[in-house]
A and B are shown apart, each in its own frame.
Chain A
């Protein structure tokens, strides 16, 4: 090691606090990048591998009913790799145990003796169907775990009003239910009300009297023309009544996972980018200070015979070391954190296969993106150092220009302020670079804290909107088959029920100018008190019988506006309805009409598909049992349960956001600490002079506090709109038909953020002020360069 390198290391050690603070910013940025990017890679690889191993369908076609031989016809289409024909129906399922527990199960048929060629399942416990086991079924893992079902248990399914017992042969994971969504409209469903089971085709055939297929799952060859193949498949299946074609992109579980991946991907890009900009800014400030302080040393170096290039490389090395330390430690932390994040994630999702790899490429990228901003930030001060004229470097620099501020000219009373106020005010404008850097640091820190807080607030708001304002009922009964409206009166008479209101949900495909969307059209009473509808501006609205109200995301999906006409394809035919308006809908995208309209759509029958109930609070636990006493009841959803399941899922997002908030606060502290400390240390000579003149430590500390708080407040004022804009950008990514986030930031969040930032500014001053309090006045005053 030569003495120039030795000097570098000792200089770094001499300002280790600042050096570590700046490295910490790079560390945070790189760790954030590494964690989110590697978790993203782990999840993507796990999904892809699961899909590949279990032959996830490229698309699925639902039909009314088709014969078995159709499978062969579809397989003959060029480009089709494999086809599985199956029965898929939502039917009531009774769980074992003392209390009768019934819910809606999605029963999917699978080949009795061999695994399907498309949409296979992975057996996690027990076994696949076995011939010796009559009437066996497989249970999807999340559902099995929730109800503690294990191989050997017995459940019963109601097929054609006939209750059939099944023995659980195995617990399985499925590529279609990694995220156990019922549909795109009902993405977050409680396993209390919905689950997936797989039954042998032979059993379905014997129960129905013939083999029944109402769904075809198709995989295609790599590079094959998917749209062309779908057209051919639809053509072949037209005689069997095509209901819906769902491509893998639209498949609910996959679409939800894609949304998550997108979130990870964005997080992996945008947040580290912000951190690294701040890291670069801090590096620039720190290095500028080092160069400023070492002016005389640079002069000596040049006088002794060091070349400009050597000086440039020497000072650039400070930035390089900050980058290397921050990015290597950040990459290691990112790697460890990515494993934690992935594990946290897969405990919620039921992934058939998990791949956790070491992503060398991501690590290299992490190190690269950590070092490059530091080098870029370091170039200017290092170049400036190399250009310092040695003779000038050894002269005391002239004082920075002092003059009366424009502000003082405009407001003459400011000149009459005491020095306690006047000096901080002048200092702010005297060194604009220094002031600006504190303002930028505080603004960025504020924005990061605010974005994280916005997510936490919005999740709380979404729960409130969905479960307090929209879904006001305590329980919702869904019937296995449509029932007469008169049933409402009967249920209304139950002592447990204070209010019962009918609902009719009709599966429908909405179409507008070539855009289609499969959803449910929901008929409710115009004056429904148990289901609230809210216009986009947030006011309560209602269905009037004049047209259809659509969930907000459908405006874009269908490219439709209020007053336009939408075509509804339902089981009973085509109908055209005017769009009456759009409503806020955080989860799912449905259409809303009056009950009468819905009944007309259903073929003019006086029927309902379910009931929304307001229940006496003391009877809430009994209502499910009471409802299941009616044989027609398929499932009972309790709002409190749904809220809990959604809340549990959001807990993950919440946890991540709290982590991010911690990162944001740490970042704000690191940047403000760096800036404020540099700002204070740059003035040590001036402050020492003031001390010798008789200014007390307390008064000087007060002056610095006033100055820093003022700059902090300006940064805060700028940081709030910056954070709001950033949050708006992030939220725009999550506006889909499945989930739609409104940006909500509560007033108390602004207050807390401001409080936190002010606290950070105050804490950040401590090291600098302590240093000043310990100054050896005589020595500092004599220093040639402050």
Chain B
């Protein structure tokens, strides 16, 4: 079943080169892609294929060397620093592979750390309840399991109520069952809350839950596959 919304994110001939120590890495080479509102898109590819770079560019935490990216008809590649900050605040929720929680803040405070930035956030405890962590709200990251930490990270992303969720290997550090649980949550966010989800993964099986799967290799799109019938994350096997 394909997503039916309007084009929300439009990448046109996007390239990205960055220095890594003493070498230059060509992470993306003229990538063009359209993503619809409410779409669940999985981006796959081997290490160094440019998946995370693509996600970062859409998230406005990295800038393209050339090409343009528009989100809701606004070109984010021409935004200045202040506009980009506002864009991230109001449009994007990030979920990272390594959770990236602030270690000195509790689960609840980590979520509030993000909600304090927006005018109309969701209720922190309600979101934590949604991810099943209401009872663990006062715990610090070091007192939570990997899966719990990732759920806090998802809560942090959802609580701002942004239209787009960008997830970079959200199950990379988790066991099979926990991973499925996390994917389920993202799926719920996509279906119930109408969030557009871009999920980067190595794991080919995860592609089956997406509306569309984009394969990257060496900075280029080598395949775009539409999933007519995305499966339920609970049915996944790997």
Residues of chain A at the chain B interface (Cβ within 8 Å): 2-4, 6-7, 10-11, 13-14, 296-297, 299-300, 302-308, 389-392, 394, 398-399, 401, 784
Contact of A305 among B18, B90, B105 (CB under 8 A): B90
10 contacts between A and B (CB under 8 A): A3-B109, A10-B105, A11-B104, A304-B113, A304-B160, A305-B90, A307-B82, A391-B56, A394-B96, A399-B21
Known: A7-B105, A302-B61. A394 touches B100 (CB 8 A): yes
Q: In the complex the two chains form, what is the Cα distance from A399 to B21 in whole Å?
A: 8
Residues of A contacting B222 in the complex (Cβ-Cβ under 8 angstroms):
none
The answer to the question of B136 belonging to the interface, with a C-beta cut-off of 8 Å to chain A, is no
User: Would you list the 9 A-B pairs with minimal beta carbon distance, nearest first?
Assistant: A305-B89, A398-B21, A10-B104, A391-B62, A390-B61, A391-B56, A3-B113, A305-B88, A307-B85
Known: A13-B104, A303-B88. 19 other contacts (CB 8 A): A2-B116, A3-B109, A6-B109, A7-B105, A7-B113, A10-B104, A302-B61, A302-B85, A304-B94, A305-B92, A306-B117, A307-B85, A391-B53, A392-B62, A394-B96, A398-B20, A398-B22, A399-B21, A784-B98
Say yes or no: B94 contacts A303, CB within 8 Å.
Answer: yes
Say yes or no: A297 contacts B114, CB within 8 Å.
Answer: no
Q: How many B residues face the partner with a CB closer than 8 A? A: 36
Residues of A contacting B113 in the complex (Cβ-Cβ under 8 angstroms):
3-4, 7, 304
Q: In the complex the two chains form, what is the Cα distance from A10 to B110 in whole Å?
A: 13
Q: Which residue of A lies closest to B100 (CB)?
A: A300
Q: How far, in Å, is A396 (CB) from chain B's closest CB?
A: 10
Q: In the complex the two chains form, what is the Cα distance from A302 to B21 in whole Å?
A: 23
Q: Which residue of B lies closest to A784 (CB)?
A: B98
- B residues 33-82 touching A (CB-CB < 8 Å): 52-53, 56, 59, 61-62, 81-82
Known: A2-B116, A308-B81, A398-B20. A303 touches B104 (CB 8 A): no
Which secondary structure dominates where chain A touches chain B?
helix
Residues of B contacting A300 in the complex (Cβ-Cβ under 8 angstroms):
94, 96, 100-102
The answer to the question of B148 belonging to the interface, with a C-beta cut-off of 8 Å to chain A, is no
Q: In the complex the two chains form, what is the Cα distance from A470 to B104 in whole Å?
A: 69
Contact of B62 among A2, A10, A390 (CB under 8 A): A390
> How does the 8 Å CB contact mask read for B182-226 relative to A, with 1 for contact and 0 for none?
000000000000000000000000000000000000000000000
Say yes or no: A3 contacts B100, CB within 8 Å.
Answer: no
Say yes or no: A297 contacts B96, CB within 8 Å.
Answer: no
Residues of B contacting A10 in the complex (Cβ-Cβ under 8 angstroms):
104-105
Q: In the complex the two chains form, what is the Cα distance from A297 to B141 in whole Å?
A: 13
Q: How far, in Å, is A547 (CB) from chain B's closest CB?
A: 75
Q: How far, in Å, is A322 (CB) from chain B's closest CB?
A: 17
Residues of B contacting A401 in the complex (Cβ-Cβ under 8 angstroms):
21-22
Contact of B88 among A14, A304, A398 (CB under 8 A): A304
Residues of B contacting A391 in the complex (Cβ-Cβ under 8 angstroms):
52-53, 56, 61-62
The answer to the question of B161 belonging to the interface, with a C-beta cut-off of 8 Å to chain A, is no
Q: In the complex the two chains form, what is the Cα distance from A10 to B140 in whole Å?
A: 12
Say yes or no: B89 contacts A297, CB within 8 Å.
Answer: no
Q: In the complex the two chains form, what is the Cα distance from A303 to B100 in whole Å?
A: 11
Say yes or no: A14 contacts B98, CB within 8 Å.
Answer: no
Say yes or no: A303 contacts B81, CB within 8 Å.
Answer: no
Residues of A contacting B160 in the complex (Cβ-Cβ under 8 angstroms):
304-305
Say yes or no: B100 contacts A299, CB within 8 Å.
Answer: yes
Q: How far, in Å, is A179 (CB) from chain B's closest CB?
A: 58
Residues of A contacting B22 in the complex (Cβ-Cβ under 8 angstroms):
398, 401
Contact of A304 among B53, B86, B104, B117 (CB under 8 A): B117
Known: A2-B116, A297-B102. A308 touches B59 (CB 8 A): no
Say yes or no: A389 contacts B61, CB within 8 Å.
Answer: yes
Say yes or no: A389 contacts B62, CB within 8 Å.
Answer: yes
Q: In the complex the two chains form, what is the Cα distance from A296 to B103 in whole Å?
A: 11
Q: In the complex the two chains form, what is the Cα distance from A304 to B89 in whole Å?
A: 6
- B residues 1-41 touching A (CB-CB < 8 Å): 18, 20-22
Q: In the complex the two chains form, what is the Cα distance from A225 to B144 in whole Å?
A: 82
The answer to the question of B180 belonging to the interface, with a C-beta cut-off of 8 Å to chain A, is no
Q: In the complex the two chains form, what is the Cα distance from A2 to B114 in whole Å?
A: 11
Known: A4-B113, A14-B104, A296-B100. A305 touches B85 (CB 8 A): yes
Say yes or no: A6 contacts B90, CB within 8 Å.
Answer: no
Q: Which residue of A lies closest to B18 (CB)?
A: A392
Q: In the complex the two chains form, what is the Cα distance from A7 to B156 in whole Å?
A: 16
Q: How far, in Å, is A681 (CB) from chain B's closest CB?
A: 15
Q: In the complex the two chains form, what is the Cα distance from A296 to B110 in whole Å?
A: 15
Q: In the complex the two chains form, what is the Cα distance from A391 to B166 in whole Å?
A: 13
Residues of B contacting A389 in the complex (Cβ-Cβ under 8 angstroms):
61-62
> How does the 8 Å CB contact mask read for B144-173 relative to A, with 1 for contact and 0 for none?
000000000000100010000000000000
Residues of A contacting B86 in the complex (Cβ-Cβ under 8 angstroms):
305
Residues of B contacting A304 in the complex (Cβ-Cβ under 8 angstroms):
88-89, 94, 113-114, 117, 156, 160
Residues of B contacting A390 in the complex (Cβ-Cβ under 8 angstroms):
56, 61-62
Residues of A contacting B21 in the complex (Cβ-Cβ under 8 angstroms):
398-399, 401
> How does the 8 Å CB contact mask read for B122-145 relative to A, with 1 for contact and 0 for none?
000000000000000000000000
Q: In the complex the two chains form, what is the Cα distance from A304 to B60 in whole Å?
A: 10
Q: In the complex the two chains form, what is the Cα distance from A722 to B18 in whole Å?
A: 45
Most chain A CB atoms below 10 A, which of B56, B82, B109, B118: B56
Say yes or no: A7 contacts B104, CB within 8 Å.
Answer: yes
Q: In the complex the two chains form, what is the Cα distance from A188 to B136 in whole Å?
A: 76
Q: Which residue of B lies closest to A390 (CB)?
A: B61
